[in-house]
Structure 1
Amino acid sequence: MKRFASIRYRYIFSHFHAVFLTTITLLSILLTIYVLFHPAWLTSEGIFLFILLYLVLSCIFSIYIGFKSSGDLKERLDYISVLITQFANGNYTSSIHFKDAYELSRIGNELNDLGKKLQSQVKSLQRMADEKGELAKTAHKSAVIEERQRLARDLHDAVSQQLFALTMMSEAAVKQLETNPELAKEQMRDVAAASLQAQTEMRALLLHLRPVHLSGDPLPKGIHKLINELKQKSQIDFEITIDEDLVLSETKEEHIFRIIQESLSNILRHAQATEVTLNVSKRSNELFLHIRDNGKGFDLSSDAERKTSYGLKTMKERSEELGGTFTIRSNVNEGTYIDIRIPC
């Protein structure tokens, strides 16, 4: 049924409608003449033979002409649909060109103008991001103070509380060693699990202490350094694919590095993943960033998750500052997928 709802078949059905109305009109006129005047040249057999021949030939011509005449319209609509899809994917350099003054040509030209305006806005956003990067350098001291305060809060909320819990649990286990060894053994298992969680939290917090400006390294080298450090400190298997010849502005490199840093920190702290895939590549006129883990995932529609997803909000804001798009997919026990596209 969807096929018959297309523009081409609607075009043919409109021809059939015209044929039907014309046939009814001709039949009415001829029958009226036959009944009122009884001309010798007009017989009932002639009327119905004429109507039948007209109906058959009209249907054949309607199908042929409707199919041929709607082809150009369908092709133009397909071009417009593809262009809108390109705009939705962030490819604002695409355009279409119709040579005549057809209404769809005017719509195509308006879409081309829209693409140019969007492209100009992306450049403005990226220029603003560059200016923001320069301002961020001048405000480095205040940023350091703010980061220290945030780390202090995270240490207090996460690691400090876990260390306090470890102290209480270990003291309880010591008291149970002689009277109830089995309970003490179970409590020590809890101590080991809690210490592992505290260690993971600490690694994630230390990950935030890396320099924002990549220490002068290009983006691919900085990412490899970051991954090598994490390999030494965690049991996660990393699969890394990076275009080594990437040439980006300093601001873009800093934003992308911080996005990757934030995503890996979230994986360490929350995902409980054993495998992480990272892909950074340039496709046509855009930079594509894909991050995937096989962790426990989460429910994106949950209000509690939305309120606590500060890291995801920061990653999305950094992507949009570069004129890019941020997409995340996740389900409970199915891992998390992050796709980011940034125009170059």
Structure 2
Amino acid sequence: DKGIKTSIQGIEMARKMGLNSKLPILYDALAQNYKAKGDYKKYAQTLKQLIAINDSVYKLNSVDVVAEMQIRYELQRNENTIIRQKLSLVEKNYWLNAYILFLITAVLITIFLFREYRKKNKARMQVLVENEKQMAFKAVLEAEENQRKRISSDLHDSLGAQANAILYGTELLQHDLGARQSLVNDLHDTAKDMLVTLRETLWAMKVKEATAAEVWLRVINFSKQLGRYYPSVNISTLGAVPAGVHISAAMSLNTVLILQEALNNSVRHSGATNINLTSKDQEGAWTITLEDDGRGFDPEAAGEKRESYGLVNMKSRAESSGIQLSILAAYNQGVKVTLRIDHAG
């Protein structure tokens, strides 16, 4: 009876505490106690209850197992999802890192190629600059050589013509004594012109370029020298020259010789009593003007005569050096000769 009582108490406690898994053991113990007591009727009833409890526990266990399996499945599925997400993230990071690495590599290659291009371009530019310098140097040498040749040619032509004039004059002296004084004067003037031309040409050959002041000074000196030979003619020089302006040797020589030719024409052939030389710096150019009050002439008619007072020679010199030359003349209205030399000359 004690075993039966203890089993019943255990069953009640298990039910109260929800320990359903212990019920089969307790009912089995109760059934054995009934059997031992010989109470087969309660033994049979207890076995039925045991079977019912076992079925119930089995069902509960089955539900628990299914629930547990469902939970494990969900957990596994979640874990798989997390793993896939991590894998996807890793792949994304991999591709991102690969893309970043590619960009860095591309940038480095671009920088390298750009530097190489700049280096080669710089070297190419240095070669071009050096070639330009050499070409410019050669051009300067060629220009200087051409200038010397031109000056030499001018010297040869001028002195040759003047020497022929002297030779021709001496031949006339030998045959025509009546014209002696006039020929002597012409020979004197021609010889003087030869010396002046020679002096100016040699000066121009010594220098690569001259300042406007140096050119103007040579014109003034020539006018003073000419005034000593022709005291009846008043020759004045006025004005100022542009400061800091340099002129090539050929242009300097031609400027001086053109003005000397114009002065000689005014003094010897125009019958002028006043000759004014004026220098001005205006509108980016040096302007030199010669005006006389002589008898003047017709430029077109004079150009057709041999006695053209060197007009053709003056125009040729101006054209060869880029000097703007203007000659205004008319009978009984004097002569005005204007030279315009750009500062870039």
- Name the TM-score, length of structure 2 as normaliser: 0.46
**TM-score, normalised relative to structure 1:** 0.46
Query: Which structure carries more helix by proportion?
Result: 2
More relative contact order, 1 or 2 (CA 8 Å, 6+ apart): 1
